[in-house]
Amino acid sequence: MTSDADDALTWEGDDDRPTQKPAPEPEKKAALPRGWKAVGRRSETVGRIEEDGTVSDPAERPPLSTPMLLLIGIVGGIYLLYTVGWIVGGLTLHGSAMFLIPDVMYQIALWAAVLAPVLWFGAVWILTRSSASWVRVAGLLGGVLLLVPWPFVMTGAVGA
C-alpha cells in the first residue's frame, strides 16, 4: 500500500502509447527571390525568400521604410499645424462672418474645416494600406495643397 504522495512519483499504470495525433506536415510554401513578382492564379500565396533563407508570409506587410516614416512624420506635423491654423484663422474671422451667415452655420463650417486635416490624414492612411507607396505620398501631398488654412494665411493672427 502506497500513499498518494508516493503515487505521484511512480509511472505505474501509464501507457507508453502517444495520446496525441502527430502534427500534420507543414505545407511547403512557394517562394520567389527578392525583386521577382508572382502573377496569375493564387499568386497572393507566394512568399519571398529572405537573406537568411527563411520564407516570408505573403499576408504579412513589410514595415515602412525610413524615408516613408520621415515623410509621414513631416506631413503629419504639417497637418497638425493646419488644424491649429484653421482654429486661429476661423476664430479671427468669426466677427466679420456674422454679417453673412448665421452663427450655427459658421460653427459647423469652422469645425468641419478644423477636422478636415485630421480626417484627410486618417482617410489616406487607411485607404492606401495595400496600395503602392507613391499613391500614399500623392494622397498626403495632395492634402497639403488642398487644405491650406486660407483665413490664417490671409489675415494671420490679427483680426481683419
Residues 134 and 77 in one domain: yes
* Domain membership of residue 110 as a residue range: 66-155
Range in 21-25, 31-35, 102-106, 123-127 with the lowest mean pLDDT: 31-35
Residues 71 and 50 in one domain: no
Q: Each residue of 1-46: pLDDT tens digit?
A: 556 666 667 666 656 555 666 666 655 555 556 666 655 666 555 5
Look at the block and give the residue holding cell 485630421: 118
Domain count, the chain: 2
The answer to whether residues 90 and 113 touch, using CB atoms and an 8 Å cutoff, is yes
Sign of CA dihedral 31, 136, 116, 92: positive
Q: Which residues contact 72 (CB under 8 A, 6 or more apart)?
A: 64, 140
Q: Each residue of 34-50: pLDDT tens digit?
A: 666 655 666 555 566 56
Residues 120 and 51 in one domain: no
Among 41, 60, 79, the domain boundary falls at 60
